[in-house]
Structure 1
Amino acid sequence: MDCENSEETAHPQSDGIPKSAGVKIVIVGGFGVGKTTMVGSVSEIRPLRTEETMTQAGVGIDDPAGVEQKTTTTVVLDFGRITVSREMVLYLFGAPGQERFWFLWKGLIEGALGAVVLVDTRRLEVSFDVMNRLEEQEVPFVVAINHFQDSPRHAIEDIRESLDLPESIPIVECDVRSRESSRDVLLELMGYLHSLTATQEAS
C-alpha cells in the first residue's frame, strides 16, 4: 500500500464528519535500531512484517556490532497504522536497516510527508547515510534516540553536535517498546511538519 502525502483514505463522509487524511510516514535507521519494534508497538492494527531469520548470507556484509543477539531482520518493510485524530491517519512504513537492502528505500520514501530517524548511541555513525538519503529526497525528519539497556547516555546537544544537525531539527529520546513513547515521537514529527508548513506559508 502506498499513500501519497495528499491522499485521503476511502472512508465515506457521513453525519458531517470529514474524511480522514492518510499521511505516509517512514521509520528509518541503521541495522537493529528498533524500527520493527516501533511500528509494532504503536500500530492500532496487526502490523505487516517481512522479517526473516538471519543466515550466513549476511556474514561479512551486515554489521552486527552492538546487536549480536539479533536473529531476525526486515528484508522488505514493516507496515502499521495509527489514527491521530478523526481528521488524520498515519500510515507507517519501516524500512530495512541493512545497507544491502537500501535499494528499496527510494520506493518506500516516495510520497512520504516526513520521517523518523531512529538512532542507537552505540552506533551513531550509521545515521549519517540515513539522514543524507532523506535530505537528497527532501523528506523532513526528526531524530529519535532509542535507548537500549547497555547504550551510553549523552546530552541531546552532544548528540546534535555529533550528528551535525541544525537546531531546527528536533531530537527526542524514546523507548520504542512503549506505545506511548513511540506515539510521542510521531506527534513530535507532526508538530515539526506543521511548523515547517507555517513557516513556508508566512514567507
Structure 2
Amino acid sequence: MHSRTSDSAVRAPLRESASDGLKIVIVGGFGVGKTTMVQSVSEIRPLSTEETMTQAGIGIDDASFVQHKTTTTVAFDFGRISLDEQMVLYLFGAPGQERFWFLWDRLFSGTLGAVVLVDTNRLADSWYALDRLEHHGTPFIVARNNFTEPQHSLEEVREALDLPPEVPVIDCDARKRDSCKTVLVTLARYLYSLSATSAVESTA
C-alpha cells in the first residue's frame, strides 16, 4: 500500500477548538485502497491495524489482482481531517476481506455517510458494501480508484452497480491527498443536499 510522504510533516496542525465531529466510513473490496486513502488524507498519523499477509490467507483471500499487496487490515484504519474551526471528519477504513465483515455493522453505527471505493477490475467486490449500507440506510457515494487504467467508464460503473441517478460516482486516486479531499467534499455536499431535501419535505 501507499506509504505516507514527507508532506505530512508540514500539514497544518489540528485546531484545538474543533467541537463537532462527523463519522465517515470508507468501504470496499479487498485491496481496493481504503487504507491508502485514510493515510493520504488524514491530518494525524493514522491508526492502522494492518498485519503482514501470511500463508493462512491462501485460498481465503483472493489476492490475484493485488499481487504486490503484503499487508492487510484486520480491524479498521482511523484518521481525521478538519473541515473548519468547528468541524472535523473522523475517517474509518473498513477491512475488505470477507472473514472480517462481521466488524462492519459496528463501524457503521453513528456513521453520517460512506465512501464506497471500487476497482473496475473487481466491481463485484463492492456488492457487499452496498448491501450493508443500504441495510443501515447510510448515504454513500462511489469513488472509482484509479490505481490502474480503468476498465469501465463511470456510467458503466453506475449501471453495473445498479446505482440511483442521484448517487455521485466520481474518479479518485487514493494515493493523492487532493484527490481524496475531493472525494470527501463530494460526499459532504451530497449529504447536505439530502439534508436540505429532507428539511423541505418535512415542512411541505
Q: Using structure 2 for the length normalisation, give the TM-score.
A: 0.88
3-state SS of paired residue (2:48): strand
Over 6 Å off, 4+ runs: none
Indicate the residue corresponding to 2:163 in structure 1: 165
Indicate the residue corresponding to 1:23 in structure 2: 22
Structure 1: tracts of 5 or more residues without a match: 1-10, 13-18
What's the % identity of the aligned pairs? 62
Contact 2:141–2:187 (CA under 8 A) maintained in structure 1: yes
User: Partners of 1:85 and 1:143 in 2: how far apart?
Assistant: 24
Indicate the residue corresponding to 1:187 in structure 2: 185
User: Partners of 1:23 and 1:40 in 2: how far apart?
Assistant: 18
Q: Using structure 1 for the length normalisation, give the TM-score.
A: 0.89
* Alignment map for 1:1-203 (pairs within 5 Å): 20-149=19-148, 151-203=149-201
User: Partners of 2:150 and 2:174 in 1: how far apart?
Assistant: 17
String of CA shifts for 1:35-94, please: whole Å, max 9, x gaps. 000000000000000110001111111111211221100001100000011121000000
**Amino acid aligned to 1:109:** F
Structure number having the greater strand percentage: 1
CA displacement at 1:148 relative to structure 2: 1.7
**Amino acid aligned to 1:124:** L
User: Partners of 1:158 and 1:20 in 2: how far apart?
Assistant: 41
Structure 2: tracts of 5 or more residues without a match: 1-15
Superposition RMSD in Å:
1.4
The number of residue pairs the alignment matches comes to 187
User: Partners of 1:80 and 1:39 in 2: how far apart?
Assistant: 6
**Amino acid aligned to 1:171:** V
**Amino acid aligned to 1:152:** P
